[in-house]
């Protein structure tokens, strides 16, 4: 006997599309997974350029591991610690781990600030950290303001299980997508008009996907804004060590130590080792909050996504090696700068520009507005499909980042070797030189003309619109 599965037998979460899998960001992953490029076995496959992964300095990590076998409890040199580490399950984490992470966070920020190990809360990657902080700060139906363009995974991380809303704060290319006080005020006031309670502001610094940093005055303006509104400030700083040229990175931790009025109970930092160290698979996420109640609650909630004690043990040993950490940070910046230079020079040969203020991150914000047949998001989607299926590159279109202007694409540049990078650049140049014709959209998106809405653009409204251009796709693996 065959039984049909009815959605009414499942929870709302299980039967909803809140994961966000119907975004081109994840659709690109599906296309790549079905036809991945390999230099020998599948040279005509799709090259993965939608993955913000730092693979440029793995040799340094591997050399350290070879020279420090005691850091692993699974080696003859480290096996004597196996029992104690294997049975450790305190959600506070190993003291050595918290101390090392706090020290590393300070080192990455130029030792201009210090971090209290007792405020370090571990989580299962930045994904888990963001969801935990959302649970701590907001109730279902309440909202966070988020400047656009922003990482598509936030729609999953902060919304899916928490019931929290995200309200985009629009930015424009005319000022290099800077976050302005005017835009923050507009989004906040529109939320109030629609009876949506704003509980916080989420910023990403350095920015994903822009690869830019917030300057000191912008950060001070943001602090004044959240202080006046009495709302929380969540600062995602997971790309802090990827800054490869001037100006230097400025952490929110540095700003709140200056002579500025600020309720520290409203300030929280999300960090991880996924980008700065290139360890996304180790799932080391960190919440650092100046609020005692948030630290306490987040630590209890971390039981649902702890970092394994084996990983804590190894990371504690690695990050406590001052000589190695200093060398790694310096060399990683040097290699990132070189990769950025080679890639932007390669794009320039095809007359393609990127956001010029970018000096951080593992990606470029690529300007393909000149290749659009029309200045619409339908035209952007048409171009994106050509790039995916004909050029065979998985890049991410701006609409998946809630960008208000069609024609921008994020392209990741640190997750491949030099040979693959050259193949990717060659494909881009060939595509542009052939002037591939992307078909004109048959109609204009009914929501396109209202990007400057008289009410706040909320993720749920956007994604559930029957006029949304985002393709439907089965659930695929969510990766940064």
> 197 catalytic, yes or no?
no
Percent of the residues in the chain that have a pLDDT greater than 70, as a whole number: 89
> 151 catalytic, yes or no?
yes
Please, where are the H alpha helices in 236-321?
252-255, 292-301, 309-319
Please, where are the H alpha helices in 375-474?
377-386, 418-434, 459-464
With residue 336 as reference, give the H or E element that holds it: helix 322-348
The neighbour count for residue 84, using CB atoms within 10 Å, is: 11
In the set 151, 271, 313, 459, the catalytic residue is 151
What per-residue confidence (pLDDT) applies to 1?
62
The neighbour count for residue 359, using CB atoms within 10 Å, is: 20
**Cross-strand bridge partners of residue 47:** 393
Q: Quick one: average pLDDT of 333-352?
A: 96
> 239 catalytic, yes or no?
no
In the set 46, 238, 250, 387, the catalytic residue is 238
- How far is residue 322 from each of residues 101, 104, 218, 327, 471, measured CA to CA in Å? 12, 9, 32, 9, 48
Q: Quick one: average pLDDT of 157-182?
A: 95
What per-residue confidence (pLDDT) applies to 144?
98
> 33 catalytic, yes or no?
no
- Sign, Cα dihedral of 219, 292, 92, 127: negative
**Cross-strand bridge partners of residue 268:** 234, 289
Rounded to the nearest integer, the mean pLDDT of the chain is: 89
What per-residue confidence (pLDDT) applies to 13?
83
Q: Quick one: average pLDDT of 449-471?
A: 42
In the set 196, 275, 388, 392, the catalytic residue is 275
**For residues 453 and 189, is the Cβ–Cβ distance under 8 A?**
no
- The residue length of the chain stands at 480
How far is 79 from 124, CA to CA, in rounded Å? 25
Confidence of residue 6 (pLDDT cuts 50, 70, 90): low
**For residues 62 and 55, is the Cβ–Cβ distance under 8 A?**
no
With residue 233 as reference, give the H or E element that holds it: strand 232-236
Q: Which of 3-17, 157-171, 186-200, 351-365 has the lowest mean pLDDT?
A: 3-17
Q: What is the pLDDT of residues 433-443, one digit of tens each?
A: 885 444 444 44
Give the pTM.
0.89
In the set 22, 155, 157, 236, the catalytic residue is 236
Please, where are the H alpha helices in 88-229?
95-108, 125-137, 154-157, 181-193, 216-229
Tally the C-alpha atoms within 13 A of residue 382's C-alpha that lie toward its C-beta: 19
Nearest to 166 by CA among 182, 185, 181, 151: 151
- How far is residue 363 from each of residues 61, 163, 220, 419, measured CA to CA in Å? 22, 30, 26, 17
261 burial type by CB count under 10 A (0-12 exposed, 13-18 middle, 19+ buried): exposed
């Amino acid at each position: 006997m065959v039984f049909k599965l009815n959605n009414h037998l499942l929870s709302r979460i299980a039967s909803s599309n809140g994961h966000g899998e119907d975004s081109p960001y994840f659709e690109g992953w599906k296309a790549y997974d079905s036809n991945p490029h390999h230099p020998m076995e599948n040279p005509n496959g799709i090259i993965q350029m939608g993955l913000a992964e730092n693979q440029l300095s793995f040799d340094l990590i591997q050399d350290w591991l070879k020279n420090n076998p005691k850091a692993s409890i699974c080696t003859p040199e480290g096996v004597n610690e196996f029992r104690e580490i294997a049975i450790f399950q305190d959600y506070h984490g190993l003291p050595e781990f918290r101390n090392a992470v706090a020290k590393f966070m300070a080192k990455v920020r130029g030792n201009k600030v210090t971090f209290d190990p007792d405020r370090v809360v571990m989580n299962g990657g930045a994904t888990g950290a963001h969801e935990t902080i959302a649970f701590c700060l907001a109730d279902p139906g309440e909202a966070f303001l988020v400047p656009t363009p922003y990482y598509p995974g936030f729609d999953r991380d902060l919304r899916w299980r928490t019931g929290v809303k995200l309200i985009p704060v629009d930015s424009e290319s005319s000022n290099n997508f800077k976050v302005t006080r005017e835009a923050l005020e507009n989004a906040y006031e529109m939320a109030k008009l629609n009876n949506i309670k704003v509980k916080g502001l989420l910023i990403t610094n350095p920015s994903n996907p822009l690869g830019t940093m917030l300057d000191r005055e912008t950060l001070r303006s943001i602090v004044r804004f959240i202080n006046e509104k009495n709302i929380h400030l969540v600062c995602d700083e997971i790309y802090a060590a990827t800054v490869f040229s001037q100006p230097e990175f400025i952490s929110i931790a540095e700003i709140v130590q200056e002579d500025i009025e600020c309720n520290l109970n409203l300030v929280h930092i999300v960090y991880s080792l996924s980008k700065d160290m290139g360890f996304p698979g180790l799932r080391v996420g960190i919440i650092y909050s100046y609020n005692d109640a948030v630290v306490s609650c987040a630590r209890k909630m971390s039981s649902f996504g702890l970092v394994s004690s084996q990983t804590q043990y190894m990371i504690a040993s690695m990050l406590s090696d001052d000589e190695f950490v200093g060398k790694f940070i310096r060399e990683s910046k040097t290699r990132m700068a070189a990769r950025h230079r080679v890639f932007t020079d390669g794009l320039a040969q095809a007359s393609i520009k990127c956001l010029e203020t970018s000096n951080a991150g593992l990606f470029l914000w690529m300007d393909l507005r000149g290749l659009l047949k029309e200045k619409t998001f339908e035209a952007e989607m048409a171009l994106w499909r050509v790039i995916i299926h004909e050029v065979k590159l998985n890049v991410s279109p701006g609409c998946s980042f809630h960008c208000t202007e069609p024609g921008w694409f994020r392209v990741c540049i640190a997750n491949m070797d030099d040979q693959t990078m050259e193949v990717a650049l060659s494909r881009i140049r060939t595509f542009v030189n052939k002037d591939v014709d992307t078909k004109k959209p048959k109609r204009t998106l009914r929501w396109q003309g209202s990007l400057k809405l008289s009410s706040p653009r909320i993720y749920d409204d956007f994604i559930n619109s029957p006029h949304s251009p985002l393709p439907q796709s089965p659930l695929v693996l969510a990766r940064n």
